[in-house]
Amino acid sequence: MLEIEGRRFVVQTKEFPKAAPGGYILPPGQVTVVVPFEPTGFFRHGWHSWSPSWWVKEGDEGWLEQIPEHRRSLVDDPAYFSIWPHSGSGLGALEERTGRIALLGSLGTGCRVEFKHNVMWGWPEVPTTPWFFGYGAEEQVFACYVSLLERCLGSKSPRNPPKVWCSWYGYYRDIEEGLLLKVSNELTDFPIEVLQVDDGWQKDIGDWEPNDRFPRGMAYLAREIQGKGFKPGIWLAPFIVRPTSRLFQTHPAWFLKGSDGDPILAGINWGGPFYSLDLTHPGVIRWLKGLFASLKAWGYEYFKLDFLYAGALPGIHSSPRPREEIYRFGLRVIREAVGNAYLLACGAPIMPSLGIVDGIRIGPDVAPWWDTYRYEPSTRNAIRCALHRLWLQPLVHTDPDVIFFRTKYNLLTPSQKKLLQDLAQIADFKATSDPPEWLDEEEKEEMKQFFAEDLNCRRMSRYTYLVGGREVSFTV
């Protein structure tokens, strides 16, 4: 029986817990916590960047039936999808009517939290990972948890998050050398620091070489970007491979396998399936080191790493280890290869990315429209998830995805665009994909002012913030 702030909780562990600020540190292994109240909501934390993360009500899972099986990896951890609505990755919390919460969170990788009624269960894939259990005001409990998590996994670098223009939400895959050189000229009047080339430059997913639309190569493009005063950035998905790629065809032993010996399906995109590299295979590690050494030698200083969840999928590895430890090892290989370059993790398992990358996307993709299914890209879904991941700010730069200023090719209302811009101020990560030629003069001035000013932001409640002295309500 543990007592916190006058409340008594029944906790079952293998050893007696130790007192810590805001609660207790529980020993490694499976734990059970019974709270002395009927919860009004459960905080479920999604596995990776795009996984739904918010306060849910028990029984709020009917829409899960809409998710096709081949898309489940893109939504959350496929190993636990059957218990998805009643579980979270790494942590979970129950809320009582007073607004106080009881939080159970791992202090490492490879852990799940499940709940039913007033009971939470924590169980690890890694049996050496301890837990934190705390109770009190939401912001205070998360702060205590983050402080302990920082000691175990590390925190963000002291550098400031860069101000980024990326090509994706303007041109998607329809990019080519001349177009990006034109954009770099048009952006010189804006306070942008990084010009990032997104998907569309490579020959194939797995073959990270420039395609025919970049005839002078990516090193040439990086030099031109630098010459305009920007840091060159580049997108790639280093842990996945399409079967059409030369890499897939020449190295069949390099892939995560299922029990039938076939490569594990990591998802479907680009018109077909893609598969996961086995990050325990020595050949894969040598290839990763060489790949990122080349990218750095080309002159790129900012890397947007996408679909990273594939490095932690369940399957048969050449050297069996806990899968989030394998993923973390793969990230360290990249970090060592690029040195002090900026790493932005996207589609990334949150907990095992901490302490290695500089920034993490904390929600699904935004879109130039407001709403769709809860598991599909939309501005509403992106805002909702990002708001519930802002507790990560002491540990990593929190990227809520790009913001829009344009009216062209955009279905968002002015108030919806403003809400997204306010979130970027709060998250302290500013990025856009709007081509300057799509903006009218008023929109250009708005974009310049937004990137030039850093407003003071303060949390008032779960969904209310002061942004530059103006109250903003995120009831989305």
Do the bridges between strand 470-473 and strand 464-467 make them parallel or antiparallel, or are there none, so unpaired? antiparallel
Q: E strands within 35-192?
A: 41-44, 54-56, 87-89, 91-95, 101-106, 111-116, 119-124, 131-136, 164-166
Q: Is 365 a catalytic residue?
A: yes
Where b means 16+ CB within 10 Å and e means fewer, 107-142 reads bbbbbbbbbeebebbbbbebeebbbbbbbbebebbb
What distance in Å separates the CA atoms of residue 465 and residue 240, rounded to the nearest whole number? 38
Catalytic, 76? Answer no
CA distances from 371 to 146, 341, 393 (A): 31, 35, 26
Catalytic position from the list 76, 306, 358, 434 = 306
Q: Active-site residue among 76, 199, 365, 422?
A: 365
Residue-wise DSSP of 354-367? TTT-SEEE-S----
Are residues 90 and 106 in contact, defined by beta-carbon separation less than 8 angstroms? yes
Kindly state the tokens that stand for 326: 């394998």
441 with 407: CB under 8 angstroms?
no
Q: Can you tell me the distance from the alpha carbon of 24 to that of 32, in angstroms, rounded to the nearest whole number?
A: 13
| C-alpha to C-alpha distance for 68 and 46, rounded to whole angstroms | 18
Residue 205, both tokens? 């997913």
Active site residues: 306, 365
